[in-house]
Amino acid sequence: MTAETTSISFGARVRNYLSLIKFSHTIFALPFAFIGFTLAVKYYGQPFQWLLLLKMLLCMVFARTSAMAFNRYLDRRFDALNPRTAKREIPAGVIKPGNALAFTIINSALFVATTLLINTLCFWLSFVALFVILFYSYTKRFTALCHLVLGVGLSLSPLGACLAVTGAFHVLPVLFSVGVLTWVSGFDIIYALQDEEFDRSHDLHSIPAALGIRRALSVSTVLHIVSGAVIIFAGVYGHLNWLYFIGAAFYCGLLIYQHLLVKPNDLSKVGMAFANTNGIASVVFAMFTIGSLLI
């Protein structure tokens, strides 16, 4: 085997694992982690440390990687049966189940180890966070509220980032966490619309499977109204400036836009609503929020 062949093979393996964990979807929670970190430094007056920022980013990567790898490992049988997911790496035979599980364990251990390098509170809470993000993968087997559990998992990003710097709980990052919880739960319901029939026929639980597409969209709408309201209230509570509220307006506008894209009788734009709209909403809102804290 030549060095070139080995290099290509390694590169392909890296791409396979990045695809396994949908690394591009890190864009949903990571901007809110930056918000939490910036709040700690600029709003709560803690010193900025590059090394601490790096540790926070590593925690985000390790935690999300372990959660996604475990989800793909645990759901491999259902993924193989579902035409929409049959080409995922494990059912397609690209990555072995045992390797995905080992990948999960390694990233979980790295996550806990990194929190130990941050502060004692983050270390002890890392086990709670790890339980939540891994437990989510089981929830679809027994409750339609699985979307909310996913929301809780991603909502830890602004709160955890702030805790990494301050070592204490504060109201403002908690409000952002509530905003993330309801935002993620709402768009996960939209994403799950694609599998309504499959979930029902295989005794899997989701709000679309339990309520049907139309009522599931109504639940998603309510969650997104709450998310937008909490984001606006966070700005009022924190006495944040005009730049923040421009970002909040973009955020709320993109929440409305994704509900205009997806209709009960037309799910063709679910992918656009899920990935593009929410990714843009997260990044744009974070940019304006961080900008408002810096000026």
pLDDT at 7 over 70: no
What's phi and psi for 266, nearest 5 deg? -150, 100
Averaged confidence pLDDT in the chain: 92
**Whole-number percent of the chain with pLDDT over 70:** 95
Give per-residue pLDDT as tens, 123-164: 999 999 999 999 999 999 999 999 999 999 999 999 999 999
* Residue 170, token pair as written in the block: 């504060």
Give per-residue pLDDT as tens, 182-226: 999 999 999 999 999 999 999 999 999 999 999 999 999 999 999
Among the listed ranges 82-91, 116-125, 246-255, which one has the minimum average pLDDT value?
A: 82-91
Amino acid of residue 233: F
CATH topology of domain 25-294: Tetracycline Repressor; domain 2 (1.10.357)
Three-class DSSP category at 250: helix
Residue 233 sits at the vertex; the CA angle it makes with 44 and 157, to the nearest 5 degrees, is 55
Three-class DSSP category at 263: strand
pLDDT band at 20 (very low <50, low <70, confident <90, very high): confident
Q: In which residue are the tokens 């408002």 written? A: 292
Distance (Å, rounded) from C-alpha 111 to C-alpha 61? 8
Cβ–Cβ contacts within 10 Å for residue 68, how many?
22
| CB-based contact 104:66 (threshold 8 Å) | yes
> CB neighbours of 88 closer than 8 A, spacing ≥ 6?
20, 72, 79
The pLDDT assigned to 24 comes to 62
The pLDDT assigned to 25 comes to 63
Q: What is the DSSP string of 18-80?
A: HHHTTGGGGGTTHHHHHHHHHIIIIIS-PPP-HHHHHHHHHHHHHHHHHHHHHHHHHTHHHHH
Among the listed ranges 88-102, 172-186, 216-230, which one has the minimum average pLDDT value?
A: 88-102
> CB neighbours of 113 closer than 8 A, spacing ≥ 6?
none
Kindly state the average pLDDT of the residues 221-232: 98
Find the helix or strand (DSSP H, E) in which 172 lies.
helix 171-192
pTM of the model: 0.92
pLDDT band at 271 (very low <50, low <70, confident <90, very high): confident
Q: In which residue are the tokens 């991603």 written? A: 154
Cβ–Cβ contacts within 10 Å for residue 171, how many?
10
pLDDT at 79 over 80: yes
CB neighbour class for 14 (10 Å; exposed up to 12, middle 13-18, buried from 19): exposed
